[in-house]
Structure 1
Amino acid sequence: MLGYLVLSTGDVFEGTLFGNLEACQGELVFNTGMSGYQEVLTDPSYSGQIVTFTYPLIGNYGVNQIDHESVRPACKGLVVGELCQQPSHYLSQHGLAEMAAKYDLGGITGIDTRTVTQIIREQGLVFGKITTDPTDQPEITPVTGQVELVSTKSKVHYPGSGSHVALIDFGYKKSILDSLLARGCAVTVFPYDVTLKEIMEIQPNGILLSNGPGDPKEMIPHLPELKKIIEAYPTLGICLGHQVTALIYGCDTARLPYGHRGANHPVKNTQTGKVYITSQNHGYMVKEESVNKNVLNISYINVNDKSVEGIAHRELPISTVQFHPEAHPGPSDSDFIFDQFIEQCQSIGEKTYA
């Protein structure tokens, strides 16, 4: 069916609709990965957004039941240059178009995604609508309240014989959980608004603040309780968890011009100078000038734009990364960060700082 991608900039692109044929809208973002479209679409950090894939051919290896990062996609839709209708892979169970239809995602193919990406890079915040009507304009409304939407509603426990990690869910990827379970950890997943009292009931060895969607400043009402939690146990923050930790210690966050979304972002360890290629998905950053160097060290920086990619508390076992050490999709260069976190949990045991 003939359809259109209508942008808040006034640009209109004609293409072919697939998936849910009813109109969908949201913030328009782009991902530069050459593969991993299934993981991207099921990553809760994309909640409320329409994802444009810059790689020209999408869907060529189909969709399986292994690589989902959550139970169902959280994004609103997807924009592709060419949609593969006959995927080929031994694990493939169905095509991307079938996945979009199953989960009510809006999709459009035959789009010049390079031009769409250039518009986002030049304009910054762009909203889009996938529709059958080229005059149907998208709402220019910030996407809010997504963490509450994607976070677990009650705690869930996964057994293990090693350190017990409390994973605070802002919209966590399954690969983060898998990375902990693969190392023998027991993991209890908590809602984003968990209290220290609830955490202490399970006597964890460490805390992991997960990734998630939206503006980190939406979490400001929860910072006092989160501060109590992370100061009581060794803590690792990933992506939104990194930004929330920074806000707890007085840092400021700001929107990036067009975000970091892809599997090829270089970051440098500020102590060793070693560079890692990382997977990233975020639209906000911690402002370097707001970091209190008496409390926090900047542990990683982005090689391309020099933005803050990690912080570490100078006294407490609290560290964060803006990138995704679990990858999926992306390189596993920084997978060792989970090992470092678990070593902290094991060395401290059940001792707390509260």
Structure 2
Amino acid sequence: MRTNPTPALLVLEDGSVWRGKGFGATATRIGEVVFCTAMTGYEEALTDPSYQGQILVLTATQIGNTGITTEDGESAHPQVAGFVIRESTPVVSNCRAQAELPSWLNAAGVPAIEGLDTRALVRRLRDAGAMRGAISNDPGETPESLLAAARGAPDMSGANLADSAGPEDPHQPSEGLNGWWDGARDMPMGRPPHAGRPFRVVALDCGAKRTIFKHLVDRGCEVHALPPNSTPEAIRALQPEGLFISNGPGDPAAVDQAILTLKEVAGEVPTFGICLGHQLLSLALGAETTKMKFGHRGANQPVHASGRGRIEITSQNHGFCVEAASLEAAGCVITHRHVNDGTVAGFRHESLPISAVQYHPEASPGPHDSAYLFDDFVSQMAEARS
């Protein structure tokens, strides 16, 4: 439990100064300031590689109640540049917890701030759009120095963060869901894992969440994860039965090598993309992407699945989207749309076995409405095998 918190500052590039109490690491960090409306799953959010280079604001009023449990993380350590909340609880009530939030952030070098009006902050970001900012627990920093740092921070547009968020070397994830998902298999969209010979799936790992690979492994896939800058030859050498493109941070249009690779190999075998993978596949097919005003980040985002005739509640984390007209001109059918603003949330190619969604069917955190998409991917591979 922390004592005697120091004053802390968050300064946005528009000049607004937000004062609070510091916890976590004593440090100064810059990044794009974004907000997430999920009410649960702060550990999963903090460890999601898609948040690399960003200062994350949570709208939930109290954070830290369940501590930190390493097996729940989506990567090995926090990925955010900084963390902003209304209140950090001094009490951890979770028998599985292995650490408290403040000490965990401190060990990872992540500064955090609490005690400010996060709802007012989110309204500013909603109205003006995501902004660059600087966060600091360092008593030597001033609002003026942090404003200069914020305005000097690199813009997210044009930033290739996927190459650094992804692995340097190939790896083979082998952990499944370990039984916790069994109850969900009773839901209408669930099916038992494939029981035959494993499907060999090559994944372009642009900063994948662990739970995505767990879902693939749980469904009978042998996953070979490659760095995002891998060549077509590296993918074909593994003789995949399926190709998966993961989530990740940054501007999709800046991930040049992945786009070039996908132009060659996408659709040679059943191909499925999630989040950044959705954007990279779209770009490889000739569509265009654009930066959103403040993005979609939360665990209760409604999506209309036109092919299934229903609304799905989804988990989302993205600041870029695909232009609908350019996607249709590239020979794709829009299968999912975001209910709130009509942006593209999923597509399939008219003639190639390529499909993708802009959101996270694995959730973590969030609802399981879209878990069937992993089953659909496995079914496509089974059909191709037969």
Output aligned runs, 1:163-182, within 5 Å.
Answer: 163-182=199-218
Q: Could you say which residue in structure 1 is the equivalent of 2:180?
A: none
**1:140 Cα deviation after fit:** 4.1
Match of 2:166 among 151, 170, 187: 151
Residue equivalent to 1:302: 338
The TM-score, its normalising length taken from structure 2, stands at: 0.88
In the aligned structure 2, how far is the partner of 1:185 from the partner of 1:337? 14
Q: Indicate conservation of the 8 Å contact 1:159/1:185, yes or no.
A: no
* Partner in structure 2 of residue 111 of structure 1: 116
User: Residues 162-211 of structure 1: CA distance to partner in whole angstroms, max 9, x if unpaired?
Assistant: 21111111110001011111112111000001122111222111010000
Superposition deviation, residue 344 in structure 1: 0.6
Matching residue of 1:43: 48
Counterpart residue identity of residue 124, structure 2 = I
Q: Shift of the alpha carbon at 1:288?
A: 1.2
Distance 2:165 2:62 in 1: 29
Q: Which runs of 5+ in 2 are unaligned?
A: 1-5, 176-196
CA distance in structure 2 between the aligned counterparts of 1:7 and 1:224, rounded to whole angstroms: 36
Deviation at 1:159, TM superposition (A): 5.2
Partner of residue 32 from structure 1, selected from 37, 50, 53: 37
Given candidates 81, 85, 93, the residue that maps to 2:90 is: 85
SS at match of 2:172: strand
Q: Indicate the residue corresponding to 2:99 in structure 1.
A: 94
Matching residue of 1:209: 245
Q: Deviations over 1:220-271 (max 9, x none)?
A: 4542321212121110010000011111121111111100000000001122
Output the amino acid matched with 1:264: N
Indicate if the aligned counterparts of 1:250 and 1:292 stay in contact, CA closer than 8 A.
Answer: no
CA RMSD of aligned residues (A): 1.5
**1:289: which partner in 2?**
325
SS of equivalent to 1:153 = coil
CA distance in 2, matches of 1:159, 1:275: 32
Distance 2:92 2:200 in 1: 40
Query: Among residues 117, 142, 160, which one is paired with 2:155 in the alignment?
Result: 142
Using the alignment, how far apart are the partners of 1:342 and 1:293 within structure 2? 28
Per the alignment, residue 231 of structure 2 pairs with 195
Q: Is 2:22 aligned against 1:17? A: yes
Equivalent position to 1:330, from 362, 366, 382: 366
Q: Which amino acid aligns with 1:142?
A: D
2:235 partner SS:
helix
SS of corresponding position for 1:258: strand
Conserved 8 A contact 2:161-2:251 = no
What is the CA-CA distance between 1:272 and the residue it aligns to?
3.1
The whole-number CA distance in structure 1 between the counterparts of 2:269 and 2:308 is: 26
d(CA) in 2 for partners of 1:15, 1:281: 26
Q: In the alignment, residue 259 of structure 2 is paired with which amino acid?
A: L
Whole-Å separation in 1 of the counterparts to 2:174 and 2:162: 25
Q: CA deviation at 1:293?
A: 4.8
Contact preservation (8 Å) 1:8, 1:140? no
Q: Distance in 2 between matches of 1:326 and 1:345?
A: 19
**1:344 and 2:380 matched:** yes
* Residue pair 1:207, 1:233 contacting (<8 A) in 2 also: yes
* 2:113 alignment partner AA: I
Equivalent residues, number? 350
Q: Which runs of 5+ in 1 are unaligned?
A: none
Provide the C-alpha distance between the structure 1 equivalents of 2:379 and 2:338, rounded to a whole number of angstroms. 26
Q: Is the 8 A contact 2:173 2:213 kept in 1?
A: no
Q: Residue 24 of structure 1 contacts residue 106 of structure 1 at CA under 8 Å; is this kept in 2? A: yes
Q: Is the 8 A contact 1:195 1:229 kept in 2?
A: no
Contact 1:288 1:307 in 2 (8 A): yes
CA offset digits 1:123-167 (Å, max 9, x no partner): 113111112422221234214231121111111124595211111
CA distance in structure 2 between the partners assigned to 1:159 and 1:347 by the alignment: 24
Runs of 4+ in 1 over 4 A off after TM superposition: none
The whole-number CA distance in structure 2 between the counterparts of 1:6 and 1:81 is 16
